[in-house]
Amino acid sequence: MLVSVYITNAMEDYFISSKKVQILTQANILALRANTVLSNSYQGFDELVKNMDTSKGYRVYVVDINAKVIYDSNEENSIKGKTILTEQILGALQGKDEAKTERTQDGELVFNVSAPFMKDGDIVGAILMQVSGAEIEEYMSEITRNLLVLSVIVSLLIGVFSFILASIITAPIQDLTKKVKEAIEADSKVELEAKGSGEVAELIKSFNELSDKIEKQEIKRQEFVSNASHELKTPLSSIKLICDSIIESPGMPHEMVLEFLEDMNNEVDRLTRIVDKLLKLTRMDDKNTMAAIEFTLGNINKIVLDIVKSLSRLAEKKNISLNVFSEDEIYSMIEPDRLHEAIYNIVDNSIKYTPEGGEVTIRIHREENRAIITVKDTGIGISEKDKYLIFERFYRVDKARARDTGGTGLGLSIALAGVELHGGNIEVASEEGKGTTFKIMIPITTKL
């Protein structure tokens, strides 16, 4: 029983901490767009809130500098116009990010997360997110029940075979308890050695698997926060520099001010692209969201032809020959939007990294039960080292060229995620200075 309590508490603490970080990240992303609410323009902000799946107990408030609610995502029970003078809101208006948990009168776990948002370097309001913790409680209840059943079984076995099994069961349980405590306090993964077989060994294996999964998620979270912060910092710094230049030059000619504002608008557009793609990748990482996707019988050839039509003007501007050859008419169960975006990103990438006067060739054919789409270009090519990194988020082979073309380093990550959603994969063959070939392989299915 004690072991179950330790494990349950350790897992609950970790899940709550992870959830706080996740919601706080979402709150800070919302804060980047919250200025639109101040001007009564909800376009873009509403979409961001809806993408966070408010059906799972999300509620978002935006308050101005006077703690007055100017936005409430719950339209039916909206408190828009009222003032919230809680300690957490006041702290956010002083520049403090905070994530708290509390229980309602009904005993339901609720996350309260707050973050300030700024305009021209000054705090002008705050975001407050209230998120239900019911999902964590349901998961913990299931774990508790399973551990309780397992504990009862182990207790009965110990009672019957106490002398025989003492050395086999007692020692691993004590070690497990010790390691769980270490896992709570440690920053790195803790792994146990599973000796023999039986319930305890299975529990240790499950713990190790969970510990490994938690570590991978933590590494992924840290990389995400680090990369996202870096990518967002650059356009924000540019905007800050432009604002300072305008403020420090009161006599600046009107034409120059307009030029600066155009530069600022470009940086805001870039920020928007980054945030939109980050949210898209986050949704693709969410298994529940992916499970709800509906597949329909679609024509893969038509998707490719539509992409070629969309990108033909970009190719013409660079005097690039964009050709498509279709050997087979292929129908399969697909999610059209995800597959379109995946192939589009790869073709778009090939055009952008092919010099003027080059060639991009797309071929579609069937190999047994797979649809094969190859995208071959005569571009700059990819080194052997970079070939294994191009699908990593935020990775750019040529950072200077990527920024010039408006790249975010997320396009190929989204492409791979979209292809993998269909059970497929992407292979890359390339030679520096001669070009690159992307081979998209998708299983053909006519029924789900």
Token output for 122:
């000054």
Token output for 288:
């529940």
pLDDT attached to residue 3: 65
Which secondary structure element, helix H or strand E, spans residue 168, and what is its range?
A: none
- Percent pLDDT > 70 in the chain is 74
pLDDT over threshold 60, residue 288: no
What is the Cα–Cα distance from 347 to 361, expressed in whole angstroms?
Answer: 9
Tell me the three state secondary structure of residue 319: coil
Tell me the three state secondary structure of residue 127: strand
The more confidently predicted of residues 175 and 246 is 246
pLDDT over threshold 70, residue 291: no
Tell me the three state secondary structure of residue 316: helix
Q: Over the stretch 214-264, which tens digit does the pLDDT of each residue have? A: 776 666 666 666 556 655 666 676 677 778 778 888 878 878 878 778 877
> In this structure, which topology does domain 220-286 adopt according to CATH?
Helix Hairpins (1.10.287)
Confidence of residue 356 (pLDDT cuts 50, 70, 90): very high
pLDDT attached to residue 319: 94
Which secondary structure element, helix H or strand E, spans residue 323, and what is its range?
A: strand 321-326
Mean pLDDT comparison of 57-71, 244-258, 349-363, highest-scoring range: 349-363
Confidence of residue 28 (pLDDT cuts 50, 70, 90): confident
What is the Cα–Cα distance from 81 to 4, expressed in whole angstroms?
Answer: 47
Cβ atoms of residues 200 and 193 within 8 Å: no
Strands of the sheet containing 359-367, edge to edge, are 321-326, 359-367, 370-377, 435-443, 425-431
Q: Over the stretch 273-282, which tens digit does the pLDDT of each residue have? A: 667 766 766 6
Mean pLDDT across 96-111? 86
Q: Euclidean distance between the first and final Cα of the chain, in Å?
A: 44
Q: Over the stretch 400-438, which tens digit does the pLDDT of each residue have? A: 444 455 556 677 888 888 899 889 999 999 988 889 999
What is the Cα–Cα distance from 285 to 391, expressed in whole angstroms?
Answer: 15
Cβ atoms of residues 374 and 325 within 8 Å: no
CATH number of 1-219: 3.30.450.20
- Among 120, 417, 146, 100, which residue's Cα sits nearest to residue 290? 417
pLDDT over threshold 90, residue 441: yes
pTM given for the model:
0.45
How confident is the prediction for the chain on average, in pLDDT?
A: 79
- Among 366, 354, 292, which residue's Cα sits nearest to residue 327? 366
The more confidently predicted of residues 436 and 288 is 436
pLDDT attached to residue 185: 66
What is the Cα–Cα distance from 58 to 56, expressed in whole angstroms?
Answer: 6
Confidence of residue 42 (pLDDT cuts 50, 70, 90): low
Domain residue ranges of the chain, discontinuous segments joined by +: 1-219, 220-286, 293-443
The more confidently predicted of residues 65 and 250 is 65
What is the Cα–Cα distance from 316 to 321, expressed in whole angstroms?
Answer: 8
Cβ atoms of residues 236 and 268 within 8 Å: no
For the chain, state the CA radius of gyration.
27
DSSP state of 392: S
pLDDT attached to residue 354: 92
Token output for 249:
């030059």
What is the Cα–Cα distance from 72 to 81, expressed in whole angstroms?
Answer: 9
84: left (phi over 0), alpha (psi -120 to 50) or beta: beta
pLDDT attached to residue 399: 52
pLDDT attached to residue 217: 67
The more confidently predicted of residues 291 and 348 is 348
Query: β-strand 69-72 against 122-132: which pairing, if any?
Result: unpaired
How many other β-carbons are positioned within 10 Å of the β-carbon of residue 120? Answer: 11
Confidence of residue 45 (pLDDT cuts 50, 70, 90): confident
331: left (phi over 0), alpha (psi -120 to 50) or beta: beta
DSSP state of 73: S
Mean pLDDT across 52-78? 80
- Among 209, 237, 336, 221, which residue's Cα sits nearest to residue 281? 221
> In this structure, which topology does domain 293-443 adopt according to CATH?
Heat Shock Protein 90 (3.30.565)
Q: Over the stretch 374-400, which tens digit does the pLDDT of each residue have? A: 999 999 888 888 887 788 776 666 554
Up-side HSE of residue 415: CA atoms within 13 Å toward CB? 24
- Percent pLDDT > 90 in the chain is 16
What is the Cα–Cα distance from 291 to 53, expressed in whole angstroms?
Answer: 14
Token output for 118:
């700024």
pLDDT attached to residue 137: 80
Mean pLDDT across 99-126? 86
Q: Over the stretch 299-328, which tens digit does the pLDDT of each residue have? A: 999 999 999 998 888 899 999 999 999 888
What is the Cα–Cα distance from 77 to 82, expressed in whole angstroms?
Answer: 12
The more confidently predicted of residues 195 and 158 is 158
Q: In the 3-class helix/strand/coil scheme, how is 236-305 assigned residue by residue?
A: HHHHHHHHHHHHCCCCCCHHHHHHHHHHHHHHHHHHHHHHHHHHHHHHHHCHHHHHCCCCEEEEHHHHHH
